[in-house]
Structure 1
Amino acid sequence: MATKQNLNRQQLQSFQWQGVDNKGNKQSGELSALSLNLAKAQLRHQGITPHKVRRKSRPLFGLGEKQATSKDIMLFTRQLSTMIRAGIPLIQSLNIVAEGLENPAMQRIVVTIRNEVADGNMLSSGLRKQGKHFDKLFCNLIEAGEQAGALETMLDRVALYQEKTERLQAKVKKALYYPIAVLTVGIIVTLILLLKVVPQFESLFKGFNAELPWITQVVINTSVFVEHYWWSIIIALMSVSLILVSSYKKSEDFAYKLDALSLKLPIIGNILKKSTIARFSRTLSTTFSAGVPLVESMTSSAGAADNRVYRKVIFQARDSIATGQQLNFALKASHRFPAVVTQMVLIGEESGSLDCMLDKVADLYEQEVDDAVENMTTLLEPMVISFLGVLVSGMVLAMYLPMFKMGSLF
C-alpha cells in the first residue's frame, strides 16, 4: 500500500529523446513520464528504439518558463469533466489529464493536486492549496459538487462557465487592443518620418536662405526636439505608465475613479458595461444553480466583476437582499442595470427559474458585446486608413511645400 502511494506521489518529468523507428528513420521529440525508465518503456511501446533520453532542464529561477494561464485552467476543467463523466476514477483521470498537458507548469499543478487526492483529501482541498490558479468561486463550486455527489455535473457546469467567460474576455480584449494597436502604428510611422525623413529635408532647406512655411517649421522643430530628447520622452512615458499602474493597484479610490471613467468612454465604455453585466449574470446563474444561497452567490458574483463600480453596486445589492429585498428591486435601485435585466430577473424570481433567466441575460449581453466589437472594428478600419493617410500626407506636404514655393519664383 505504501509503495503504491509513493508511486502516486511521483512527479511527472519532461524528457527529451532521440532514437530510430521500426524503419530505421531517425526520430526525436519530448515526452512526459514519471521516471527515465518509464520514458524509455513508453518509447519502446510506440515502436521507437531510444538512443538518447535525458531529462529536460528547467530554466534558472523559472525565467523564461511558461506559466499556467486561464486557458490552461479551462482546458484542465473540461478534460477532467470528460474523464469523470466517462466513469474513470478521479486519480486516474488526473494522471491522464496531466500526461496530456503541454504546459509543464500546468502539468506540475495537476500532479500536485493528484498527490493531494491520492493522500485521501478531497479534490476541492487540493484545488484550494493552488489558490493562485483556482479562485474561491472555482473551489466552492467543486466542493458543492463533491458534497452533493455530482462532481461530474459540477465540473461540466464549471467548464462551460469558464469557456463562456474566456470567450467574453477575448472579445473585450479585442475591443481594447485594437485602438491601442492603431495608436502604436501611428506613433511608429510618425517617429520614422521625424527621425529619418525630416532631417534630410532640413539640411536641404538650409541652402534656400528663405523663410519656411509655418507648417514646415513646426514639423522641423518637432523633429529636432524628438531627435535630441527622445530618451526623455521614453522615460516620461514609462514613468507615467508605472505611476498609473502602481496607483491603480495600491489606491482603491484611484482605481474606482479610473473604472468609473472607463465606463464613460465612447464605444469602449458601452462594451465594458455590457461585458460586466454578462459576467455578473453568468456567475450568479452558475453559483445559484449549484445550490449556493443567493447572498453568497452575490458575493461570488461581485468578486468576478472586473469593474469596481459594478462590484460596489453588487455588494450593496447583496446587503439589501440580506435584509429581505428581492434581487430585481435591489438591482433596479442601483441604477446601473438596464430595465431588460431587472425585468428578466423579476420574471425569474416569480417563476422560480432565476438561474435560467440569468443565463438568458448573460447570453443576451454576450451577443451584444460580440456585435459591438464587430461594429467597432468595422468603423475603425476606415478611420485608421484616414488617420494614417492624413498623418503621412500632411508631413509629406509640409516637406514639399517650400519646394513648390521656390518653383513658383522661377
Structure 2
Amino acid sequence: MRYYNVLVLAKGKKHQVIIQSNDKKEAIEKAKLKQNGIVLRVEETTMPVEEKLKALKSELLSFKKGKIKRQHLIATIRQLAVMTNAGIPIHDAIVEIANSTASDKLKQILLDIGENINAGISLSQAMERYKDQLGNLTLTMVRLGEQTGDMASALFTLANILEQIDENVRKFKKAIRYPLITLTAMAIAFTILITYVVPKFKSIFEKFHAELPLPTKILLWLEHAFNTYGPYILLGLVVGIFTISFVYKTNEDFKYTMDKFFLKIYLLKKIIYYSQLNRFMLIFSELVKAGIPVVDALDNSVQMVDNSYIKQKLEIVKNMVEKGSSIADAFKETGLFENMIIQMITAGEASGQLDAMLAKITEYYGMKFNYILDNLSSYIEPIMLAIIAAMVLLLALGIFLPMWDMAKVVGQH
C-alpha cells in the first residue's frame, strides 16, 4: 500500500488528507468519497509518523493479536463454495462458517460481513472493508461470482489458486528447514567452543610470550568478545533483525533496494525469480480462464507479487496493455521472460487460445521452481561444507599452531 497527500476542495475550503491506497487512481476515488469534494492535487508521500507508530505497535504486539492464517482462509472459502453450490443462502453459510472456524479474527470478520449482507449490502461490498485481511484476489473473484451469477464456481477457483500458493510456500519452508537447522547447530557448536574451550588454552598462551599467529589472535578476540559482551551482542542481533524487518515492511524504498539485492544472491535469486513468476502466472492464467478482463487480471496478479523489483517490472505489462499493446510485447518489455515464453504468448494471442498457453507457462515455471526446491540440499551442501571447513580450520590452526611452537621451544631447551 502507498500513501498519497491529496488536496481537496470541499464546501468552498481546501483540505489536505493522507490517503492509503494501491495507486493514484484509487487514492483520488477514496478522497472524493471521504471529503465529498473536488480533487485539486495528488502527490505520493511517505508513511505518516502516526502510521509508523501504529505499525511498530502492531509489530511489537502481533503475538497477542489474532491473525488470519492462509489455511483458515482457504478452508473458509472452500466451505463457502460447497455450501453456496448446495443452494444455501450466502448469509446463512457465512454465519455457519463463522461459528465453526478456529480463528477468532476470522470469526469476527465473517460475522460482521454477515450482518452487512443481512442489511442489504452485497458480499463484495461487505468484504471491501477487510481487503487487507482477505486480499484483492478474494474480492476480485467474489465480484466475478456476483457478475456471472455463479458464485460457487468463482469461490472454487479462488480456493484452488490459494491452495496452490500455500503449497508452494510449504514446499519452500520444508526445503530450507534442513539447511537452517544445520547452520544453527553449527553456530551453537562454534559459540560453545569459543566460550568454553578456548579459555582453557588462553592461560597457556599467556605464558607463551612469543608472537601469536593470526588464527590464534582471531580466536582470542572472539573469546573476549563473546565472554565479555555476549549478552549485548545477542541483544544487538535481535534489535538489528527486528529493525531491519520493520523498516523492510514499512519503507517502500528500502524494500525495493533489498528485493533487488536479493535477486543478485547465489541460489536465492533463482528461488525468488521462479516462485514469484510462478505465482504471477498461476493467478493470471486462472483469472483469464475464469473470464476476468485481461487488464483486471493483470492488476490482481501483479498485486500478489511480493518482490518489489519484479512487481515494478510486471506493472509495465499492465500499463502497456491498458494503452493497447499486445501482451507479448508487454511481457518482452519487462526483460523478465525468456524468448520461448514470449513466443508462446504470441501464439496464444494469435490463435485465440491465450488461456491454454498461460496454463502451459504456469506449468513451466512451477516445474522450474519445484526442481530448485527438490535439489536445494545439493546446491547448499558445498556452502555448508565450506563453512564447516573454515570453522574447523580456524579452531585447529588457532589452537595447535602456538602449541606446536611451544613444543619446539621446549625441545630446544
Q: Scaled by the length of structure 1, what TM-score is found?
A: 0.76
The SS at the match of 2:67 is coil
The SS at the match of 2:132 is coil
User: Could you tell me which residue of structure 2 aligns to residue 156 of structure 1?
Assistant: 156
Amino acid at match of 2:297: S
Distance 1:229 1:81 in 2: 57
The SS at the match of 2:359 is helix
Distance 1:250 1:133 in 2: 17
**For residues 35-63 of structure 1, what are the alpha-carbon distances to aligned partners after superposition, in whole Å with 9 as ceiling and x for unaligned?**
xxxxxxxxxxxxxxxxxxxxxxxxxx996
Instruction: Note the 1:33-48 alignment, pairs <5 A.
Output: none
Tell which structure's C-alpha radius of gyration is larger: 1
Distance 1:238 1:209 in 2: 39
Distance 1:382 1:231 in 2: 32
User: Could you tell me which residue of structure 2 aligns to residue 205 of structure 1?
Assistant: 205
Is the Cα–Cα contact under 8 Å of residues 183 and 384 in structure 2 kept in the other structure? no
Moved more, 351-360 or 141-150: 351-360
Instruction: Measure how far apart 1:385 and its partner are.
Output: 4.9
Is the Cα–Cα contact under 8 Å of residues 171 and 369 in structure 1 kept in the other structure? no
Q: Scaled by the length of structure 2, what TM-score is found?
A: 0.75
User: Could you tell me which residue of structure 1 aligns to residue 123 of structure 2?
Assistant: 123
Moved more, 236-245 or 320-329: 236-245
User: Could you tell me which residue of structure 2 aligns to residue 343 of structure 1?
Assistant: 343
**For residues 284-320 of structure 1, what are the alpha-carbon distances to aligned partners after superposition, in whole Å with 9 as ceiling and x for unaligned?**
1222233322122222122111122222222222222
The SS at the match of 2:358 is helix
The alpha-carbon distance between structure 1 residues 386 and 253, as it changes in their structure 2 partners (threshold 3 A), is: closer
1:114 matches 2:114: yes
Moved more, 248-257 or 355-364: 248-257
**For residues 21-46 of structure 1, what are the alpha-carbon distances to aligned partners after superposition, in whole Å with 9 as ceiling and x for unaligned?**
xxxxxxxxxxxxxxxxxxxxxxxxxx
Amino acid at match of 1:345: I
Is the Cα–Cα contact under 8 Å of residues 280 and 305 in structure 1 kept in the other structure? yes
Instruction: Measure how far apart 1:326 and its partner are.
Output: 0.6
Instruction: Measure how far apart 1:361 and its partner are.
Output: 1.4
Distance 2:81 2:267 in 1: 38
Instruction: Measure how far apart 1:401 and its partner are.
Output: 4.1
Distance 1:325 1:208 in 2: 77
Instruction: Measure how far apart 1:102 and its partner are.
Output: 2.3
1:69 matches 2:56: no
1:279 matches 2:272: no
User: Could you tell me which residue of structure 2 aligns to residue 315 of structure 1?
Assistant: 315
Amino acid at match of 2:356: C
Distance 2:290 2:338 in 1: 26
Is the Cα–Cα contact under 8 Å of residues 175 and 268 in structure 1 kept in the other structure? no
Distance 1:127 1:150 in 2: 18
Instruction: Measure how far apart 1:64 and its partner are.
Output: 3.7
User: Could you tell me which residue of structure 2 aligns to residue 187 of structure 1?
Assistant: 187
1:97 matches 2:97: yes
Distance 1:370 1:255 in 2: 26
User: Could you tell me which residue of structure 1 aligns to residue 268 of structure 2?
Assistant: 268
**For residues 319-357 of structure 1, what are the alpha-carbon distances to aligned partners after superposition, in whole Å with 9 as ceiling and x for unaligned?**
221222110111112211122222222222122222232
User: Could you tell me which residue of structure 2 aligns to residue 47 of structure 1?
Assistant: none
Instruction: Measure how far apart 1:148 and its partner are.
Output: 1.0
The alpha-carbon distance between structure 1 residues 96 and 392, as it changes in their structure 2 partners (threshold 3 A), is: farther
Amino acid at match of 2:337: F
**For residues 214-264 of structure 1, what are the alpha-carbon distances to aligned partners after superposition, in whole Å with 9 as ceiling and x for unaligned?**
422321122112322334434543454355334434443332222222112
Instruction: Measure how far apart 1:405 and its partner are.
Output: 4.5
The SS at the match of 2:292 is coil
The alpha-carbon distance between structure 1 residues 319 and 65, as it changes in their structure 2 partners (threshold 3 A), is: closer
User: Could you tell me which residue of structure 1 aligns to residue 289 of structure 2?
Assistant: 289
User: Could you tell me which residue of structure 2 aligns to residue 141 of structure 1?
Assistant: 141
User: Could you tell me which residue of structure 1 aligns to residue 398 of structure 2?
Assistant: 398
Is the Cα–Cα contact under 8 Å of residues 109 and 130 in structure 1 kept in the other structure? yes
Gaps of 5+ in 1: 1-60
Is the Cα–Cα contact under 8 Å of residues 277 and 337 in structure 1 kept in the other structure? no
Distance 2:262 2:383 in 1: 21
Instruction: Note the 1:188-267 alignment, pairs <5 A.
Output: 188-208=188-208, 212-238=212-238, 240-267=240-267
The SS at the match of 1:206 is helix
RMSD: 2.8
- Name the count of aligned residue pairs: 350
Distance 1:187 1:352 in 2: 56
User: Could you tell me which residue of structure 1 aligns to residue 304 of structure 2?
Assistant: 304
Residue identity over aligned pairs, in percent, reads: 27
User: Could you tell me which residue of structure 2 aligns to residue 371 of structure 1?
Assistant: 371
Is the Cα–Cα contact under 8 Å of residues 175 and 373 in structure 1 kept in the other structure? yes
